[in-house]
């Protein structure tokens, strides 16, 4: 970002920091060895929460994968239990549909929050949809959504560039595959994570590699 928001003007939303995405039901479906980026993102989220000033509003979400599997990821259990952050249950990719979220956001905005920093899981799905929808519905009320990519994660294969044909298959049918064209010199290729970042930017979301947290950390 070109300028750092004023102290007291930010809030944080971290999406679906659940064990399901690293060692649970979701990870079992895609393979735990394919969730390294998500585990790394959860560790960075935990490190941030440990140091974050107490007066920065934080909200967490969880998604009942398969109807359950709601436990916090091991990387975050201790800090989440200690801090007792408010949380909401989301049943789809859009956190605006989660009961209690808009009320929480309205409350923190009335307290002076104008920047909402979003991270979590997964970059290509819930982070992309939720951040874009929040920006779309609250920008006219003075809110700027910022996605901190260092606090976001997706399955490892979603960081691999692919050609347009393979990207279309991924976006339309969820087919997670690549072909020879994906690595052919001169053929444009983009990863699903990079595509998600571009989609968020088109919605007005500010997407940064790492947000400047310095003013908001305990000394």
> Distance between CA 197 and CA 4 in Å, rounded?
21
Characterize the bridge pairing of strands 206-208 and 144-153: parallel
* Integer Cα distance of 18 and 76 in angstroms: 9
In tens, the pLDDT along 122-158 reads 999 999 999 999 999 999 999 999 999 999 999 999 9
Contact indicator for 111, 184 with CB cutoff of 8 Å: no
User: What are the structural domain ranges in the chain?
Assistant: 10-156+192-214
Cα–Cα dist 11/154, whole Å: 23
User: With left for phi above 0 and alpha for psi between -120 and 50, is residue 98 left, alpha or beta?
Assistant: beta
Prediction pTM value? 0.93
Stretch 13-34: mean pLDDT: 88
Cβ 63 vs Cβ 16: under 8 Å: yes
Q: Per 3-state DSSP, what percentage of the chain is helix, strand, and coil (rounded to 5)?
A: 45, 20, 35
For residue 3, pLDDT beyond 70? no
Beta-carbon contacts of 67 under 8 Å, excluding residues fewer than 6 positions away, are none
pLDDT digits (tens, 9 = 90+) for 94-129: 999 999 999 999 999 999 999 999 999 999 999 999
Instruction: Please say whether the beta carbons of 134 and 145 come within 8 A.
Output: yes
Per-residue pLDDT tens over the stretch 175-201: 788 999 999 999 999 999 999 999 999
The answer to which of 18-32, 64-78, 98-112, 145-159 has the lowest mean pLDDT is: 18-32
Fold for the domain defined by 10-156+192-214: Rossmann fold (3.40.50)
**Local confidence band at 67 (pLDDT 50, 70, 90 cut-offs):** confident
The full DSSP string for 79-112 is: HHHHHT--EEE-SSS-GGGSTTHHHHHHHHHHTT
């Amino acid at each position: 970002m070109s300028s750092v928001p004023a102290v007291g003007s930010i809030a944080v939303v971290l999406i679906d920091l659940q064990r399901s995405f690293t060692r649970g039901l979701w990870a079992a479906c895609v393979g735990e060895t394919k969730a390294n980026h998500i585990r790394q993102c959860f560790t960075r989220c935990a490190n941030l929460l440990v140091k974050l000033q107490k007066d920065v509003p934080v909200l967490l979400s969880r998604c009942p994968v398969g109807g359950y599997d709601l436990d916090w990821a091991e990387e975050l259990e201790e800090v989440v239990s200690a801090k007792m952050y408010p949380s909401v249950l989301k049943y789809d990719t859009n956190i605006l549909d989660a009961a209690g979220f808009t009320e929480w956001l309205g409350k923190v905005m009335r307290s002076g929050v104008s920047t909402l920093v979003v991270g979590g899981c997964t970059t290509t799905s819930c982070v992309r949809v939720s951040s874009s929808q929040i920006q779309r519905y609250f920008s006219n009320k003075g809110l700027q959504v910022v996605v901190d990519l260092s606090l976001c994660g997706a399955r490892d294969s979603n960081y691999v560039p692919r050609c347009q044909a393979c990207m279309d298959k991924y976006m339309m049918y969820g087919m997670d595959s690549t072909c020879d064209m994906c690595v052919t010199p001169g053929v444009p290729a983009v990863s699903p994570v990079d595509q998600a970042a571009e989609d968020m930017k088109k919605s007005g979301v500010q997407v940064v590699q790492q947000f400047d947290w310095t003013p908001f950390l305990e000394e």
